[in-house]
Chains A and B, each alone.
Chain A
Amino acid sequence: MKGAWNWTWKAGSILLLGYVILRGFGTPLQPGLVTATPSQLGIGTDTIILAAAGQPFAAADDVPSDFHVVLRAGDQLLKTETVEITPHSVRLAVNTPATLPSRALDAFVFTPAAGTLFLGNACFVEEAAKGDIPKDFRAKAPEERAPKLGFSFPYQPNIIESIRNLLWHVPMWFAMFFIMGLGFVASLAQLRTDNINWDMRAEAAVKTGLVFGLLGLATGSLWARWTWGAWWVSDPQLNGALVTVLLYSGYLILRAAMGDDDRVGRLAAVYNVFAFIMLVVLLMVLPRYTESLHPGKDGNPGFNSYDLDNSLRAVFYPAVIGWGALCYWMYTLRLRMNRHAYHLLSR
């Protein structure tokens, strides 16, 4: 029975990760508006091109009568005329009046297939005077339609396609917390019992956890480059993550410096208990109380509702379980190596 379960969960983790990779990269992204060109409009007639990312928001033979674009200034709508639709852009003709309630215009695209797309502050009209939009220029609010997209990931401004990184970056840290927590428990047990087996567990846990911590830093750095524009920024969450990884590297340095000193188990356990408490403080407590670019912080312990929709959840939870199981598997392998090494050395 035990043997069967032993390979079942391992095979399960591989299957889950296979599903995560296929779904994570294969699922289309809901369309969203990225840019409007030109971003500055004069008064009078002009053309604007709204560019979109994600899966095509329109088919080439879409009926323009079913496809509406309006611009919003303040709480009033300005009408436009759709000139040309391609799968990833729409060209509009707009006649800008001399008076607008606001100089900033938001764009709304009502599509038959993809629902309503929105781009805030799409264009600016410097020369417009403050006032109501004249009657002739106004548009009626088109009817909102539910998107008919099927299984797709949500569009987030700035993040766009990189939202798939959620399935790699976040589970890496969850797996690290999990395995480091295991190491923490092992170290506490080591301090109580002075049994070398617990020390071997703690060491295996820290080594495995460090791998996941480094992967978390690497995937996070990639994501930061894409969304924030830099490989590394000064942010409480990032500082905490870096210090945590350095701290656990210190654990390995401490062990290496002790060599075959027979007090290594105790000393390493003491350090590991301290390191895990610092991990909790640095990654889960401190960032909550300071401003952070990092999502899920700023007083909010979980994800915001708009960060995770159901389609993302359907891949994210398997990813968390899959990476966690893989992490535990790696830990058991490392533990076996530690045991073999110990028996060889003490023979």
Chain B
Amino acid sequence: MASARHTLRTASTIAGLEWQLEWRQGHQLAAVGLFAIASVYVAFQASDHNTTAAGWTAMLWLVHLFSGFTAIGRLFDRERTEVRRYLQWTAEPLGLMLGKLFHAILTTTALTAVVLGAFVLFLGWPQGMDDPGKPGLLVLGAWMGGLSMTTTLVFVSAVASQIRAGGSALAAVLGLPLLLPQLILATRLTRGALADQPWTMLVEYPLFLGALGAGTSAIACILFPYIWRA
């Protein structure tokens, strides 16, 4: 049984490896950014500074959702086959999962910044709104929503990567229904933050999102060893 220190060392190695891979295969990172900004631009063209708060929220989360899919959906099968086989035999599964999760969290944080920044830059705030009611909560909601989406996606793409053909398509099919609860909470939080609802009504949403994210991460860590060397 691997010690906790060994697990953590594996995790940090994997996270570093992921980071290197990300920079070496720069096209993947660029592809996600391009996807996010192009989607925001489509939303901007379609709305032309004329959206209601509900429409704004819907578009924000659609862009965020599908950018997340693009970024995280391939997390478990982007190494070359040889590297993957090597990892399968040498890396400790829990450490590997933690490393991948850490990387996914970093990616999501960056992605949230890009999506939300581009959204505000191009679309501005919803019609008749000079400022959002609670900008801090808006940012927190986008980030927490993104994180709890991501952790679920990590689990789903780990399962889907075990399938020989069509894994990424399957990740989308399995992932979308799983993300509905997170999206429901996140969109309510965003709408409330835009409309300046009182803190007491909104504070439960980031808590729920955080709990869902933490819970799915924990389940993913517990179950991952069973599929990794199946």
B129 at the interface (CB under 8 A from A): no
Is A254 a contact partner of B155 (Cβ separation < 8 A)?
A: no
Size category, B interface = 20 to 34
Contact with B along A264-300 (1 / 0, CB 8 A): 0011011101100110011000100110000000000
- CB neighbours (8 Å) of A271 from chain B are 159, 174
Contacts A258-B163, A266-B230, A270-B226; A243 near B180 (Cβ below 8 A) = yes
Cα–Cα, bound, A239→B178 (Å): 11
Docked pose: A254 CA to B174 CA in angstroms: 8
Query: CB distance B162 to A253 under 8 Å?
Result: no
CB neighbours of A257 from chain B (8 A): 163, 166, 170
By beta carbon, the residue of chain A nearest B184 is A239
In the complex the two chains form, what is the Cα distance from A274 to B170 in whole Å? 16
Q: Point out which of A247, A266, A267 has the most chain B C-beta atoms below 10 A from its C-beta.
A: A267
The answer to the question of A143 belonging to the interface, with a C-beta cut-off of 8 Å to chain B, is no
**What is the minimal beta-carbon distance from A272 to any residue of chain B, in angstroms?**
10
A191 on interface, CB distance cutoff 8 Å: yes
| Residues of the B chain whose Cβ atoms lie less than 8 Å from the Cβ of A270 | 159, 223, 226-227
Interface residues on A, range: 20 to 34
Verify if A347 is at the interface (C-beta below 8 Å from B): no
Nearest opposing residue in chain A for B188, CB measure: A290
Q: How far is the CA of A278 from the CA of B218 in the complex (A)?
A: 13
- Inter-subunit contact B164/A261 (CB<8 Å): yes
Of B155, B163, B166, the residue contacting A274 (CB under 8 A) is B155
Minimum CB distance partner of A251 in chain B: B174
1/0 per residue, CB under 8 A from B, across A173-201: the answer is 00000000000000000010000000000
Q: List 14 A-B contacts (CB under 8 A).
A: A191-B226, A243-B177, A246-B177, A250-B174, A253-B170, A253-B174, A254-B163, A257-B166, A263-B162, A266-B230, A270-B223, A274-B155, A281-B212, A281-B215
A residues whose Cβ falls under 8 Å from a Cβ of B: 191, 239-240, 242-243, 246-247, 249-250, 253-254, 257-258, 261, 263, 266-267, 269-271, 273-274, 277-278, 281-282, 286, 289-290
**Which chain B residues have a beta carbon within 8 Å of chain A's beta carbons?**
155, 159, 162-164, 166, 170, 173-174, 177-178, 180-181, 184, 204, 208, 212, 215, 219, 223, 226-227, 230
